[in-house]
Structure 1
Amino acid sequence: MAALPVGAKAPDFSTQATLAGKPFPFTLSQALKKGPVVLYFYPAAFTSGCTVEAHEFAEATDDFRKAGATVIGVSADDIEKLNKFSVSECRNKFAVASATPKMIADYDVKLPVIAKSNRTSFVIAPDGKIIYAYSAMNPAGHVANTMAAVKTWEAAHRK
């Protein structure tokens, strides 16, 4: 699977996101002002692998926050479906957003044939550079790997 490589500038985007079933506008550049962003693409809400991954990110959200990172999951699903997913599977812990076809193309995470993204996790530093990228359709490893990347970044930038 292709994806933007480490060192690339992460394309900025604005989209509709939801947290705890409440929609809000999300812009990557605004989130990066607070610290690194864990941006993870997943194929579709309420599918088995995506549900497992959402549960794992929900369990780890407090640890990501302690390290100064924001977690946001994105898929091609509409905001109505994501409102439900944010409550039931993300457990009101982190935001999920609707990925536009342009976002999926810009991050080079499109699945062949269908207009959905593959499963790719990025860690983006506050300067907008990708410091970690991992693509695998199996959800195992995405949370642990992004957490390790965030902690490495945090250790290098601790004052």
Structure 2
Amino acid sequence: MLRRLTPLLPTAALLGLTATAHAALKPGDAAPLFTTDAAVGGKQMPLVLADALKKGPVVLYFFPKSFTSGCTLEAHLFAEATDKFAALGTTVVGVSHDDIATQLKFSKEECRDKFAVAADPQSAIIKSYDAKMAVMPYSDRISYVITPDDKILYTYSSLDPADHVKNTMKAVEDWRTTHKQ
């Protein structure tokens, strides 16, 4: 019986059916700063988290794999909400284990030219945010809201992509009411 299940493990992991890591970064923790390659609208660019934070809060969301159904849905939801996040002075950034060539295409087709999607093929960023799946090299589905002082404001972890935008938006709105600029 185990022999029959073993070939299914990689597929199960992609579908989120394996045990996943739980976000270790909690509100108040320092957010690991990073610089990496990213894509917006099919164009490659450097992404420097410290620079994005100078403009305001950042929603940093991790997703398992570009062009899978849940990750595509989540990218669409964040793309639809990007203008509202921008009105709140907030930058949206997606991160996955995919390489930059994949992110160039994903940023255009699924992120709809609305926000940066970072490549992390070595999983360095994923690991620094404790967002790695327990079994596979992919990231778990975790969203963080990071404030301009490099602190984690909010963490949300769920394999279901449906509530990541709603929950991070509420965290940003709540923060904005107490941090009028």
Residue 31 of structure 1: CA displacement? 0.6
SS at match of 2:171: helix
3-state secondary structure, aligned to 1:140: helix
CA distance in 2, matches of 1:101, 1:57: 22
Secondary structure, counterpart of 1:16 in structure 2: strand
Identity %: 55
Q: TM-score, normalised by structure 2?
A: 0.86
Query: Based on CA coordinates, which of the two structures has the bigger radius of gyration?
Result: 2
Among candidates 83, 92, 104, match of residue 83 of structure 1: 104
One-letter code aligned to 1:105: K
Q: Match for 1:63 among 78, 84, 88? A: 84
Q: 2:152 aligns with which of 125, 130, 142?
A: 130
Q: How large is the RMSD of aligned CA atoms in angstroms? A: 0.8
**Is 2:24 the counterpart of 1:19?**
no
Tell me how far apart the structure 1 counterparts of residues 157 and 114 of structure 2 sit (CA, whole Å): 23
Cα distance in 2 between the residues matched to 1:22 and 1:154: 31
Q: Which runs of 5+ in 2 are unaligned?
A: 1-20
Following the alignment from structure 1 to structure 2, what is the Cα–Cα distance between the partners of residues 153 and 68?
Answer: 11
> Are 1:98 and 2:119 matched, yes or no?
yes
Return the structure number with greater helix share.
2
Cross-structure match for 1:2: 22
Secondary structure, counterpart of 1:153 in structure 2: helix
Return 70-79 or 92-101, whichever deviates more. Answer: 92-101
Provide the TM-score with structure 1 as the length reference. 0.98
Deviation at 1:104, TM superposition (A): 1.2
Question: 2:8 aligns to what?
Answer: none
Partner residue of 2:162?
140
Residue 93 of structure 1 deviates from its aligned partner by 0.7
1:120 aligns with 2:142: yes
Structure 1 unaligned regions, length at least 5: none
